[in-house]
Amino acid sequence: MRRCKHTCFLVLMALLPIIYMGCKKPYDPPLINSTASFLVVDGVINTNLTDSTIVKLSRTVPLSGKVSFKPETNAVVYIETSEASYSLAETSPGRYSTPPLTFSAPGGSYRVRIITSDGVKYDSDLVKAKLNPPIDSIGFTATPNYLQIYVNAHDPNNATRYYRWEYQETWQFHAKYASDYVSDERTGLGVRQQQIYQCFGNNPSTTIVLGSTARLKEDVIYQSPVTEIPSTSEKIETKYSILVRQYALTPEEFNFWQNLKKNTEQLGSVFDPQPSSGGGNIHCTSDPKIPVIGYIGATNIQQKRVFISNTQVPPAWFPNYPYAGCKMDTLHTADVPFILVYPPIVYLATHPWLGDNGLPKGFYYTTPECADCTLRGTTLQPEFWR
């Protein structure tokens, strides 16, 4: 009897997950299918006289939709101060900018005003410009699994206290094989083509990076993490560069970005922070009931760039290249036009295939994914590269 009870207990425990799963019903939150499209404003009024002010406008999109970014185009955007107003031009869809501005009172108060293409008006609150200290340095440390990049800064006046950083990454990488030849449609012979072996990749920051010294006696940022690069990343195979931009924030602006970070990056388990209101400083003046997302601050943006060579990382680190299935094969010169000339191009020739007499007999070839780095980057070397 005891053995029967034990067996029955085990069977019941095995059936519990099935019974539990059978009781669950799918739940689709109403917001997923919402068609509401609210304005999103991202920008900082730059009081640095050597750089531009950029404001990005977009619309929220449904979580269930296929579009992840919807720029707000053909809007009128301008900066307003107590002395003058400055218009921003749309330089690309949803991106509005000015050349460097000379404000009569760099420490004064500013706001951004927006009129969308449908005539709806939005204003940000008046904000006083925050003085931003320079970035002291950008450094890095190698851990067993990743490269940690950090920033150092300080304010001798102990007046900044709240910081935010953005960054732009650039790195040099190469294709699996060098493709030195293309087919000539008339003769089928290989001819030298443009360099598509070495390329440059770019990535903007995709996370919100914040720092605060509000609880410290001195306003010193020491080795505050900016980003991590895995030890297997292609970014550090040759040379890597990062441009870090620093923003000084008001306490209210810091709270906005902190809430946004919690709502977008730190959700997913019962132990993570619960969603909360963003509390931005932009309002719809045409209809106060229309929500708008964003915060406009004002500061003199500081920036600093560093380069990291592969000789500065542990020699045991080796990139995990996306070339696992790459291989080469051979073909006779007479067959070249049939697979290399007519679009869409399916293969690329890499180098000559020599016969027993030492003369070219044909070519080695591979797929573009293995020999054309421009599919993942650009061959145009940045002006700042060295």
Q: For residue 70, what pLDDT is reported?
A: 93
Residue 340 maps to a domain? no
Residue 356 maps to a domain? no
Is residue 279 domain-shared with residue 208, that is, in the same domain?
A: yes
Mean pLDDT value across the chain: 85
| Of the listed ranges 11-20, 91-100, 138-147, the one predicted with least confidence | 11-20
Residue predicted with more confidence, 208 or 179: 208
Separation CA 160–CA 131 (nearest Å)? 7
Q: Is the pLDDT of residue 60 over 70?
A: yes
Residue predicted with more confidence, 17 or 60: 60
Residue 383 maps to a domain? no
**Helices and strands, counts by H and E, the chain:** 4, 24
Residue 354 maps to a domain? no
Separation CA 172–CA 364 (nearest Å)? 25
Is residue 113 domain-shared with residue 232, that is, in the same domain?
A: no
Q: How confident is the model at residue 332 (pLDDT cuts 50, 70, 90)?
A: low
Structure confidence by residue, pLDDT tens digits, 65-112: 677 789 999 999 999 998 889 999 999 999 999 999 888 666 789 999
Q: Where is the domain boundary, 128, 152, 178? A: 128
Token pair for 134:
């320079």
Structure confidence by residue, pLDDT tens digits, 170-191: 999 999 999 876 655 544 545 5
The set of residues, in sequence order, having a beta carbon less than 8 Å from that of 247 and lying 6+ positions away, is 44, 132, 163, 164, 165, 166, 297, 299, 301
Residue 120 maps to a domain? yes
How far lies 226's CA from each of 15, 168, 209, 241, in Å?
Answer: 48, 11, 6, 13
| Of the listed ranges 125-139, 154-168, 366-380, the one predicted with least confidence | 366-380
Residue 61 maps to a domain? yes
Query: Which CATH number does the domain housing residue 80 bear?
Result: 2.60.40
Structure confidence by residue, pLDDT tens digits, 32-49: 556 678 999 999 999 988
Is residue 207 domain-shared with residue 153, that is, in the same domain?
A: yes
Is residue 109 domain-shared with residue 141, that is, in the same domain?
A: no
The answer to whether 332 and 361 have CB atoms below 8 angstroms apart is yes
Is residue 169 domain-shared with residue 117, that is, in the same domain?
A: no
Task: Over range 112-135, report the average pLDDT.
Answer: 97
Q: For residue 62, what pLDDT is reported?
A: 81
Percentage of the chain modeled with pLDDT above 90: 63
Residue 21 maps to a domain? no
Total structural domains within the chain: 2
Separation CA 243–CA 101 (nearest Å)? 22
Separation CA 299–CA 15 (nearest Å)? 62
Is residue 145 domain-shared with residue 287, that is, in the same domain?
A: yes
Q: For residue 308, what pLDDT is reported?
A: 98
> Each residue of 216-250: b (16+ CB within 10 Å) or e?
eeebebeebebbebebebbbbbebbbbbbbbbbbb
Task: Over range 4-24, report the average pLDDT.
Answer: 48
Task: Over range 294-314, report the average pLDDT.
Answer: 96
Residue predicted with more confidence, 364 or 147: 147
Q: How confident is the model at residue 219 (pLDDT cuts 50, 70, 90)?
A: very high
- Give the H or E element holding residue 293: strand 292-299
Q: Is the pLDDT of residue 11 over 50?
A: no
Q: Where is the domain boundary, 128, 146, 164? A: 128
Strand, helix or coil for residue 259: helix
- For β-strands 127-128 and 121-124, DSSP reports them as unpaired
Is residue 305 domain-shared with residue 237, that is, in the same domain?
A: yes
Q: Where is the domain boundary, 128, 153, 175? A: 128
Q: How confident is the model at residue 329 (pLDDT cuts 50, 70, 90)?
A: confident
Separation CA 144–CA 225 (nearest Å)? 16
Token pair for 338:
């049939």
Q: For residue 64, what pLDDT is reported?
A: 67
Query: Which of 311, 312, 302, 320 minimizes the C-alpha distance to 140?
Result: 312
- Using a 10 angstrom Cβ sphere, with 0-12 exposed, 13-18 middle and 19 or more buried, the burial of residue 165 is buried
Is residue 65 domain-shared with residue 179, that is, in the same domain?
A: no
Q: From the CB of residue 184, how many other CB atoms can be counted at a distance below 10 Å?
A: 14
Separation CA 279–CA 23 (nearest Å)? 39
Q: Which domain holds residue 92?
A: 30-128
Is residue 98 domain-shared with residue 230, that is, in the same domain?
A: no
- For β-strands 181-183 and 127-128, DSSP reports them as unpaired
Is residue 56 domain-shared with residue 107, that is, in the same domain?
A: yes
* Ramachandran angles phi, psi of 10, nearest 5°: -65, -40
Is residue 181 domain-shared with residue 216, that is, in the same domain?
A: yes
Query: Which of 55, 117, 64 minimizes the C-alpha distance to 296?
Result: 55
In 3-state terms, the chain is what percent helix, strand and coil (to 5)? 15, 40, 45
How far lies 236's CA from each of 304, 313, 320, in Å?
Answer: 19, 8, 11
Q: Is the pLDDT of residue 270 over 50?
A: no
- For β-strands 135-142 and 146-154, DSSP reports them as antiparallel
| Of the listed ranges 1-10, 103-112, 229-238, 241-250, the one predicted with least confidence | 1-10
Is residue 182 domain-shared with residue 292, that is, in the same domain?
A: yes
Residue 363 maps to a domain? no
